[in-house]
Amino acid sequence: MSTWTTADLPDQTGRTIIVTGANSGLGAVTARALSRAGARVILACRDTAKAERVADGLPGAEVRALDLADLNSVRAFTDSIERVDVLINNAGVMALPLRRTADGFEMQFGTNHLGHFALTNLLLDRVTDRVVTVASVAHRIGRLDLADPNWEQRRYDRWLAYGQSKLANLSFAHELQRRLAGEGSAVISVAAHPGYAATELMSHTESIQDAVMWLGNRVFAQSAEEGALPTLFAATAAVEPGAYYGPDGFLGLRGKPARASSSGAARDRAVAAELWELSEKLCGLI
C-alpha cells in the first residue's frame, strides 16, 4: 500500500508549473500544494476572478486567462508562455447537457480533450520536464467514435460523452509518450486520475443528478485533497514515462497514489494514432 502524501512532495523551488482549471476543486488543491512546495504556479483558468482568490497568498502564483473551449484563447495563452517545467492538464467539465464550444465541438470532448491537446502541442517546445494529463475511472465507459466524436450524428448521452472525453485524455497521454520517446525527447507524458473525489465538478449536470452526486460526495467520496494526490505524485515524483497513476484502494476510488490500470481501449495504439491525427485536424495544427 502506498503512503505518499503532500509531505513527500519534493522541493519545487525554481520550477514553473501550469495547472489548468486551478480556480476550484482538484486544480486549486494542486496549485496550493505546488506553491507551498516552492513552485511558481500559473493558474490557467477561464474564471480568473475565482482563480485570483485561490492565488491570493500563494507566493509566486500567477493567474492567466485560458478558456479550453475556445481555441483562440488557447493560442493566446500559449503565446504568453516562455518556459514551463510541468504542464498539468487538469481542467474539465462533466456530464453536461449537449452544448458546443466556440469552435463547434461537443463541449466535453472539446474542453477535456481537444483544448488540452491543442494546449499541449502548442506549448511542447517550451516544456522541460513532463506533461500530466488528468483522466478518470470513467474512461472505462467511454468509446471513441472517431467518425462522430462531436455527437452530430448520434443521439447525445451526457455520460457516454464524458466517458469518451476521458478515454481520449488517456489515449492521448499514452500516444504523447510514444511520440516523445520516438523523438528522443527527455520530456515525459504521465496520466493520473483522482478516483472518487468530492469537487464542484459533480454539481454542474443541470439535472436531478446533481442532488444524487451531492449525496455521493457527502457519503462515499474522498476529499479533494486526497483526490489531488495522484496528480501531485505524477507531476513531481520519480515516475515511469507513459504510466497512469490513481488511488490504490477499492476499484481505484480512494486511497494513496499508485500505478493504476486502464482499459484495453485506452491502450489501443492504432486508435490512439488515429485520434491524434483527427485532433490535429480539428484543432488546425496541420
Task: Kindly write down the DSSP assignment for every residue of 116-183, as one continuous string.
Answer: HHHHHHHHGGGEEEEEEEE--GGGGG----TTSTTSSSSPP-HHHHHHHHHHHHHHHHHHHHHHHHHT
DSSP 8-state class, residue 11: P
Looking at the domain assignment, is residue 70 inside a domain?
yes
Q: Which residue of the set 162, 196, 244, 245 is catalytic?
A: 162
Give the domain range for residue 195: 7-282
**Which among 53, 83, 99, 58 has a CA at the least distance from the CA of 187?**
83
The enclosing domain of 187 has a CATH number of 3.40.50.720
Task: Indicate if the pLDDT at residue 170 is higher than 70.
Answer: yes
- Computed over every residue of the chain, the mean pLDDT equals 93
Task: Indicate if the pLDDT at residue 86 is higher than 90.
Answer: yes
Number of domains the chain is built from = 1
Looking at the domain assignment, is residue 2 inside a domain?
no
Looking at the domain assignment, is residue 34 inside a domain?
yes
Looking at the domain assignment, is residue 1 inside a domain?
no
Instruction: For residue 133, count other CB atoms closer than 10 A to its CB.
Output: 30
Confidence (pTM) = 0.92
The pLDDT of residue 252: 85
Chain-centroid distance of CA 206 in Å reads 22
pLDDT digits (tens, 9 = 90+) for 248-286: 988 889 999 999 999 999 999 999 999 999 999 999 998
Looking at the domain assignment, is residue 185 inside a domain?
yes
The answer to whether residue 245 is catalytic is no
Looking at the domain assignment, is residue 263 inside a domain?
yes
Report d(CA 272, CA 70) in Å as an integer. Answer: 23
